[in-house]
Amino acid sequence: MSLDVASVRFGYRRTPVLEGVDLRVAEGGFCALLGPNGSGKSTLTKIIARVLTPAAGSVSFHGRDLLAAPRREHARVVAYVPQSGPAPFEQTVREAVLLGRTPHIGLRPTRRDRDIVAAAIDRLGLGALGDRPMSQLSGGQAQRVLIARALAQEPRVLLLDEPTSALDLRYQIETLQIVRSVTREEGVTALIAIHDLNHAAHFCDQAVLLDGGRVVADGPPAEAFDAAVLSRVYGLDVRVTRGEQGVEVRPSALEAA
């Protein structure tokens, strides 16, 4: 059982962004999408989330075509955490997280729905902010609300588009720990677009490196992180070291400083 992306192509008018992307993430796996700006990381997450429609290719989970499934069914399987932005309208944190229950709610939220929302809010350390309007939150707090909303959705596939970009170091680590625990304890498959190679190496089971809209490396971080490939993709000389604590990537310029 897995999340399978096959031969996905996408472009904006005449500008290709993804050119035949293939990847497979095992059920319960935590996969990092890596690559420089413009490599297609965010675009791929948006295609799986059905924010964008590919020109060709397929996305399936447990053999079911996610791109052809009814929207409500898709939303019961896939939750998407976009990059943080301003709240589109006035709502409290609790109301925003409750939106994650929309695919499951009948005429009105049940006690179980509200309990799930409360648990997601607490899990992200937002308990004291439940009644605060979204417009009064910092960028980092708003991003944690989006993650709580996705967890309240009880997905089988969790997509995160640079979720730590607005967070300070403490909340970056805590967020990645939460996602890892969700994959390991609940069997959720997670795909995260992220820039920090070392965070990906520490928290993720799988690393997929994109360059020019193509997959150029795929596997456990200790295998996928090759100094020559990373140096070419990022245009920067890097060193990769492997030890008992895992793999670490460092720009050579830092070692010479």
Alpha helices for the chain (secondary structure H): 41-48, 71-77, 93-98, 111-123, 139-152, 169-186, 197-203, 221-224, 227-234, 252-256
Beta bridge partners of 209: 34, 217
Q: Which amino acid is at 75?
A: A
CB 176 within 8 A of CB 199: yes
Confidence band for 121, pLDDT divided at 50, 70 and 90: very high
Domain boundaries, the chain: 2-85+154-256
Residue 256 has pLDDT above 70, yes or no: no
Residue 35 has pLDDT above 80, yes or no: yes
Radius of gyration of the chain (CA): 19
**Listed residue (191, 130, 197, 121) closest to 163, CA to CA:** 191
Phi/psi at 23 (5° precision): -160, 155
For residue 106 the two structure tokens come to 């009948």
Q: Nearest 5°: CA angle at 152, between 91 and 169?
A: 80
CB 65 within 8 A of CB 239: no
Residue 213 has pLDDT above 90, yes or no: yes
Check residue 17 and give its pLDDT.
Answer: 94
Q: Which amino acid is at 251?
A: P
* Consecutive H or E run containing 59: strand 56-61
- Express each pLDDT in 160-196 by its tens digit: 999 888 788 998 999 999 999 999 999 999 999 999 9
Check residue 210 and give its pLDDT.
Answer: 97
Q: What is the mean pLDDT of the chain?
A: 92
How far is Cα 109 from Cα 157, in angstroms, rounded to an integer?
23
| The 206-211 sheet, strands edge to edge | 78-81, 157-161, 189-193, 30-34, 206-211, 214-219
Check residue 85 and give its pLDDT.
Answer: 60
How far is Cα 151 from Cα 178, in angstroms, rounded to an integer?
10
Class of domain 2-85+154-256: alpha beta
- Express each pLDDT in 126-153 by its tens digit: 999 999 999 888 888 888 999 999 999 9
**Listed residue (64, 67, 31, 38) closest to 51, CA to CA:** 67
CB 104 within 8 A of CB 76: yes
Check residue 14 and give its pLDDT.
Answer: 81
- Express each pLDDT in 49-104 by its tens digit: 999 999 999 999 999 999 999 999 999 999 999 986 655 567 999 999 999 999 99
